[in-house]
Chains A and B, each alone.
Chain A
Amino acid sequence: MLEVSNLACSRGDHRLFSGLCFALSPGQIMQVQGANGSGKTSLLRTLCGFISPDKGCISWGGTDVRELAEDYFAQMMYLGHLNAIKDELSALENLRISAGLSGMELSEADAIAALRRMGLKGRERLPTKVLSQGQRRRVSLARLLVNDARLWVLDEPLAALDVGAVALIGELIREHLAGGGMVIFTTHQPLVVAGMEMRSLSLS
């Protein structure tokens, strides 16, 4: 589904990677590895179309993503370093608005169910500024539950999460893959996804 061929990317004068080729089919998961500054985040941001590559092409279902543009965005979701949640809004409002931005109308009941599954029971209506770092990350990750995107692009999804939450993310990813989804992610913590072959791509 997702094919990357001969991709090259640089920041300023510095060439991060070049000649990068890989493909991801439904049900596959891939971890991007590499030292700090090797371009993991840049690769993921290039896949989102934020950065236009110096060379090479990213295609989705055989068509260049730049041509697909919004049709591609409808089928992918990106979780970056930043949580994309507003301190002034409650967890519930945050989740419903981010679903809205990705074009979905989310009912209150569905949103509460998603937040509860993320272990935020009883905190749905608190302003997120009173939540801890890990809890905010959970609010942000709750978007995975209320989205029907096929491709997940996750940049350090496990940062600030405790053991229980890491296990939960593993389970969410397994469900997503079982349903024919695709995941590409980076992490510095081990992530176990039961029964799935973990491919890895290393940037040097």
Chain B
Amino acid sequence: MAINWFKYSAPTTFYPLAGKLIPWFAISSAILFAVGLYIGFVVAPSDATQGEFYRIIFIHVPSSIISMFLYLIMAGYAALGLIFNTRLSSMMASAIAPTGALFAFISLWTGALWGKPMWGAWWVWDARLTSELILLFLYLGFIALHASIDDPRRADRAAALLAIVGSVNVPIIYFSVKWWNTLHQGSTIKYSGTSMHIAMQQAMFTMLAACWLYAIAIALMRVRSIILEREKNTKWITELAEVK
């Protein structure tokens, strides 16, 4: 069956579709959070070396992973918007940015909380934490640039270019930070790795899925507001049920 993807790339069809999808994503995200927390705190045993503290990784690792992927997805949407001049993809990019930044922040926060009992310091210049911090700066740069340009089209295009340059730079930054870290014999976060208990893995994957669904739901909610705002002069917006 051939699906006409272009049909869904128009704000007119995407807006109601997103509205219908949001509750599903939100509800399944909430259920998975509950399941993940149950497995993570009740089923999974405490770790031999780290005691109970390792349980932070159920939120720390998913938020790190998601913050990195969201940057790439955001850059991808931004690039689509820049190249094919599609309005919706630029809107998606600016809807994803705040969520990505918040996940980066959560990852840093939980990383610090995990570091305190492990190393006795809130902040350690570990390669992964440092890269995460730089990632947060990149998100903030994207948001700040988008916010300081008044003309929405120029804002979209300028921020898109920045996101593309940033995503090309992310691997370079990551490897240089990693290299810098090994040079200075810094400590590197090591998770239980291969010896991870099956329940720990289940908890981690459930939480990861829950976070993904949350990120999708919130990004869709935000993009609906952006669509409303940008297209407020068009006819179809004034005919929407919620506007009347």
Binding site for B on A (CB under 8 A): 11-13
Interchain CA distance A12-B154 in the complex, whole Å: 10
Residue of B nearest to A12 (CB): B151
- Chain A residues lying within 8 Å of B151, measured Cβ to Cβ, are 11-12
* A-B contacts at CB below 8 angstroms, number: 5
Q: Does B49 contact A (CB under 8 A)?
A: no
Dominant secondary structure at the A interface = loop
Q: For the complex, would chain B's binding face be called helix, strand, loop or mixed by DSSP majority? A: loop
**Residue in B closest to A14 when the chains form the complex, CB atoms:** B233
Closest to A13 in B: B233
**Nearest opposing residue in chain A for B233, CB measure:** A13
Give me the 5 closest cross-chain CB pairs, A-B, nearest first: A13-B233, A12-B151, A12-B150, A12-B152, A11-B151
Find the A residue at minimum CB distance from B85. Answer: A52
Interface positions, chain B 224-244, Cβ under 8 Å from A, are 233
Q: Write the chain B residue with the least CB distance to A54.
A: B153
Query: Closest Cβ of chain B: how far from A8's Cβ, in Å?
Result: 14
Residues of B within 8 A of A13 (CB): 233
User: How far, in Å, is A116 (CB) from chain B's closest CB?
Assistant: 42
CB of A40, distance to nearest CB on chain B (Å): 19
5 contacts between A and B (CB under 8 A): A11-B151, A12-B150, A12-B151, A12-B152, A13-B233
Chain B residues positioned under 8 Å from A11 (CB to CB) = 151
Whole-angstrom CA separation of A13 from B233 in the bound complex: 8
Which residues 146-160 of B sit at the A interface, judged by CB distance below 8 A? 150-152
Residues of A within 8 A of B233 (CB): 13
Considering the chains assembled together, what is the distance between the CA atoms of A158 and B166 in angstroms? 46
Question: Could you give, for residues 21-35 of chain B, a 1 whenever the CB lies within 8 Å of some chain A CB and a 0 otherwise?
Answer: 000000000000000
Closest Cβ–Cβ distance, residue B25 to chain A (whole Å) = 31
Which residue on A lies nearest to B151, using beta carbons? A12
Roughly how many angstroms separate A11 CA and B233 CA in the complex, as a whole number?
13
Cβ-closest chain A residue relative to B230: A13
Q: How far is the CB of B152 from chain A (nearest CB, A)?
A: 8
How far does the Cβ of B112 sit from chain A's closest Cβ, in whole Å? 43
User: How many Å lie between the Cα of A13 and that of B230 in the bound state?
Assistant: 9
CB contacts (< 8 Å) of B150 on chain A: these are 12
How far is the CB of A59 from the nearest CB of chain B, in Å?
19
In the complex formed, the residue of A with least CB distance to B150 is A12
CB contacts (< 8 Å) of B152 on chain A: these are 12
Shortest distance between the CB of B156 and any CB in chain A (Å): 13
Distance between Cα atoms of A11 and B151 in the complex (Å):
8
Closest residue of A by beta carbon distance from B157: A52
What residues of B have a CB within 8 angstroms of the CB of A12 in the complex?
150-152
A13 to B150, CA, bound (A): 11
Chain B 179-203: CB-based contact to A (< 8 A → 1; otherwise 0): 0000000000000000000000000
